[in-house]
Amino acid sequence: MEFRAACTLPLGKGEARPPHIRKDRKGWAGYFCRMEKLSMDQLNRKTVDEVRVAAKAPVVMVLENVRSAYNVGSAFRTADAFLIEGLWLCGYTAFPPHKEISKTALGAEESVTWKHFKKTADAIAQLKAEGYKVYAVEQTTTAVMLNELEAMGEKIAVVFGNEVTGVEQETILACDGCVEIPQWGTKHSLNVAVAAGVVLWELVRGRKLN
């Protein structure tokens, strides 16, 4: 089966259109074209050096006591994809160089700026000193739903906790607030790497990055 998608293109003045192209009221032509996967060359991917010097979204992801190094590697890859300021690793969260991180990061540990802190409190203190608003991604009595968070234009850091116990209560109290991902099923629980992708996309999607 061949899948085709609706496409549009402008017709020049007096330009003849091929028989398979239908001109609409606005002078554009609507037609059907094959959907084809882009090649690696067509993705216009930045080099590691270009990513390092590129303008970043003012967002820092903090991982607290994340046990799985594979999850950490996935976080690196997500941080690279959304071109955020950095990834801060706290407590016993694994950090590069690490075989399991490399396996899922696919080289993103080379392009993403990262730091390691023995204590999450030290990371939060430094973030606040640098002007970041710090939010724990956690289900709490005062959490704001992610889609209702008004953070555009702010420097923001988001803390993700352990796969089982979540963000530590002491860490929650040190944050400026909490953010919750809306969920409607029975689990109300997401893998930390999945949660990071959801939250970061919501935080960067309104920002213009090149």
Tell me the pLDDT tens digit for each residue of 140-167. Answer: 999 999 999 988 789 999 999 999 999 9
pLDDT in tens, 62-107: 999 999 999 999 999 999 999 999 999 999 999 999 999 999 999 9
Is residue 4 very low, low, confident or very high in pLDDT (cuts 50, 70, 90)?
Answer: low
| Cβ–Cβ under 8 Å, residues 115 and 91 | no
Give the CA dihedral 133, 136, 137, 141, nearest 10 degrees.
-110
| Residues forming a β-bridge with 157 | 60, 134
Task: State the maximum Cα–Cα separation within the chain, in Å, rounded to a whole number.
Answer: 70
Lowest mean pLDDT among 53-62, 71-80, 187-196, 199-208: 199-208
Give the CA dihedral 115, 119, 122, 127, nearest 10 degrees.
50
| Cβ–Cβ under 8 Å, residues 59 and 203 | yes
Query: Residue 153: its pLDDT value, please?
Result: 80
- CA dist 203 and 19 (Å) reads 45
Going from N- to C-terminal start, the domains of the chain cover 4-36, 43-204
Structure tokens at 124: 């939060």
142-159 burial: b if 16+ Cβ within 10 Å, else e: ebeebeebebeeebbbbb
Angle between helices 192-204 and 69-81 (to 10 degrees): 10
Chosen CATH of 43-204 out of 3.40.1280.10, 3.40.50.970, 3.20.20.210, 3.40.50.1980? 3.40.1280.10
Global confidence as pTM: 0.83
